[in-house]
Structure 1
């Protein structure tokens, strides 16, 4: 059975038809409208979300009431508040659709069950987490070592497919700028 999720998983591990069906049995498909929330601060995160089509973001509200985006997820990317998901404690984040998004909802209880029945699924998620952690380490390095303009140039070079999909204020939030500062940078010939 071919789905975007199964195709993505099979890039990293092998699954037979029975395992594919078992995996898909506990997953729900959902369409999320633009600006709709999957998670709000204070709620417990109950699932991991795989983006089949569209774009989601995770953010928190800073002390001054400003949104601080920490991560975007587009097609074939996962998103969740992993701290809340694993501990089943209230989240300090929001997950919101940047555009209308089709997702596969992977409930935490299903993941735990699958790990027992299909051990290689843990390998799949381990590989993804290692890649995500490495990317997170690089982002932290860039925050400390790049100028603001270098951050923007780096983002444009490495993620050009995001630029036209993400509103300027969200991109500014992700890069740690004000929307006005991002507008100034964009006016310059970079």
Structure 2
């Protein structure tokens, strides 16, 4: 089951068979049912999660009681609350399975010991975090510089698989507009 994680790591850093076997000793596997939570607001995030199968979302609840999605993750993506994980403070986010999922769990409690034994994993995670930060910066730019239609077109071009897997109200939340506005955009595309 961890072959996908090992292959992903090897795309960024070398990892021998022996090192992969060592890594597997530190990783737990967790099966999630649809709508199951990996993290809830107020909990301290205890791990980083690599999606082997399925789709998850990270979201928070606004002052008006509305779910605002800030991140999706599908196969070969990591998801966690890095601030809560590193500072060991209560999370302000929820992480939830959108569909049944299998995740590889890297507990924070063993991360440092793992990095000491496999130092190349620090480079791997640095590269992954750099990519995630760059994507977050671009997302903020798009929210402030593109119209809703442009954001929708950009997202569906880059991530066409999400459009089929993610409920439309969640996609609208992620893109920063209402489900009704998304319906209008989609209706224009059909006609």
TM-score, normalized by length of structure 2? 0.97
Cα RMSD over matched residues?
Answer: 1.2
Q: How many residues align?
A: 190
Q: In the alignment, what sits opposite 1:89?
A: 89
Pair 1:149-2:149 in alignment: yes
Unpaired stretches in structure 2, ≥5 consecutive residues: none
Q: In the alignment, what sits opposite 1:139?
A: 139
Shift of 1:15: 1.2
Mapped to 1, the partners of 2:58 and 2:2 lie a distance apart of 28
Shift of 1:2: 6.5
Pair 1:130-2:130 in alignment: yes
Q: In the alignment, what sits opposite 2:57?
A: 57
Shift of 1:26: 1.3
List 4+ stretches of structure 1 deviating above 6 A.
Answer: none
Mapped to 2, the partners of 1:70 and 1:9 lie a distance apart of 25
Offset from partner CA, 1:110-165 (integer Å, 9 cap, x none): 21111111111000000111111111111111011100110111111111010010
Q: In the alignment, what sits opposite 2:106?
A: 106
Maintained 8 Å contact 2:54/2:75: yes
Q: In the alignment, what sits opposite 2:161?
A: 161
Moved more, 9-18 or 32-41: 9-18
Q: In the alignment, what sits opposite 2:37?
A: 37
Mapped to 2, the partners of 1:35 and 1:18 lie a distance apart of 36
Pair 1:6-2:6 in alignment: yes
TM-score, normalized by length of structure 1? 0.97
